[in-house]
Amino acid sequence: MTRKAYLTIDDSPTKETDKLVDFLVERDIPATLFAIGSSYKDMHVECEGMEQNPTPIVRAIEKGMVIGNHTYSHRRSSEFSFEEVVEEIEKNERLIDKLYREAGKTRLFKVLRFPHLDRGCGGWIVDYDAAGQYGEHLKNLFGEGLNIDLTPPSAEQIEKKAKIQDYLRQEGFVTDIYEGVTFPWYKETEMASAYDLLGTFSTADWMANPDFEPYAKERSWPYPTLEALKSKIDGDADLKDEESVHIIIAHDHNKLVDTTCALVTHMQDSGVEFLDVASNARLQPS
């Protein structure tokens, strides 16, 4: 069974990025790394940031990976103003451009994924009500492990989200370059028209980070081990679909690299072929 997918990895760079990139190169897997600008640490992520730790990102570009924008400091967009969101994006854009120049490579397109998939409306990742018959499916997709808060957003948040989308469109951010996704719940909802990249399957790999063990127990996370994460892959009905291309979300976190690589290997061994989005970009007329 062959299925096609784009691999996207959030939260680079870390101490493990070189190891992760070496693994991807060895298995001939192209990926998009969504990178952060500033160093920081919170419960979920320990990241060295491109500002302080540019070398692994330059190296990743040299090795053929695509670098996407994951904002400068990985904050939740719902918690600050439109102007601040723009600043978070632009500060990070300048860093990414600089590292492409250092690597001597042309940046083919601009792509962004919001931290925590917070697009300005908190846990209301997409408008579930507007998604009609697909609303429940999307709630499940994003609810899985995202600790989702399904409180509907405020009028201000809805307005901010629309302004952010408009800004991303004007600035030339693209998502349709990740082509071939045919799920109706993607194509017929705002997922396909978004100017920030969402995903069709999250590995939830971070649930098995050894540092999170106490939280995993306390909060009864459903996939706290590598085996549980593999069974999430094996059991996912969407991921069995051979018609649609998939957009896989994984993470680059310290202490997690072995788990993430094992999950990607598991997908590849079970017939997932990873596509190179950069070759789509090269085919597009400029």
Whichever of 115 and 120 has its CB closer to Zn ion, that residue is 115
Between the CA atoms of 239, 241, 242 and 247, what dihedral angle is there, to the nearest 10 degrees?
-40
Min CB(129)–Zn ion separation in Å: 26
Min CB(85)–Zn ion separation in Å: 15
User: Are 8 and 205 in contact, with CB atoms under 8 Å apart?
Assistant: no
Number of other CB atoms surrounding residue 214 within 10 Å: 8
Backbone angles phi, psi at 56, to 5 degrees: -65, -30
Min CB(121)–Zn ion separation in Å: 17
Contact segment (CB under 5 A) with Zn ion among 4-12, 96-104, 140-148, 210-218 equals: 4-12
Contact segment (CB under 5 A) with Zn ion among 10-18, 52-60, 75-83, 278-286 equals: 10-18
Binding of Zn ion at residue 205 (CB under 5 A)?
no
What does the block give as tokens for 97?
């451009």
- Kindly determine how many residues on this chain lie close enough to bind Zn ion according to the rule CB under 5 A: 3
Binding of Zn ion at residue 252 (CB under 5 A)?
no
Binding of Zn ion at residue 49 (CB under 5 A)?
no
> What part of residues 108-147 is at the interface with Zn ion (CB under 5 A)?
115
User: Are 5 and 272 in contact, with CB atoms under 8 Å apart?
Assistant: yes
**Amino acid at residue number 26:** E
Rg (CA), the chain: 18
CA distance 187 to 175: 12
CA distance 59 to 138: 36
Binding of Zn ion at residue 10 (CB under 5 A)?
yes
Contact segment (CB under 5 A) with Zn ion among 11-19, 80-88, 176-184, 201-209 equals: 11-19
Read off the DSSP letter of residue 210: G
Min CB(104)–Zn ion separation in Å: 28
Whichever of 74 and 137 has its CB closer to Zn ion, that residue is 74
Min CB(116)–Zn ion separation in Å: 6
User: Are 281 and 42 in contact, with CB atoms under 8 Å apart?
Assistant: no
Binding of Zn ion at residue 11 (CB under 5 A)?
yes
Nearest to 54 by CA among 75, 39, 32: 39
Whichever of 125 and 131 has its CB closer to Zn ion, that residue is 125
Min CB(247)–Zn ion separation in Å: 15
Min CB(70)–Zn ion separation in Å: 6
Binding of Zn ion at residue 46 (CB under 5 A)?
no
The contact set with Zn ion (CB under 5 A) reads 10-11, 115
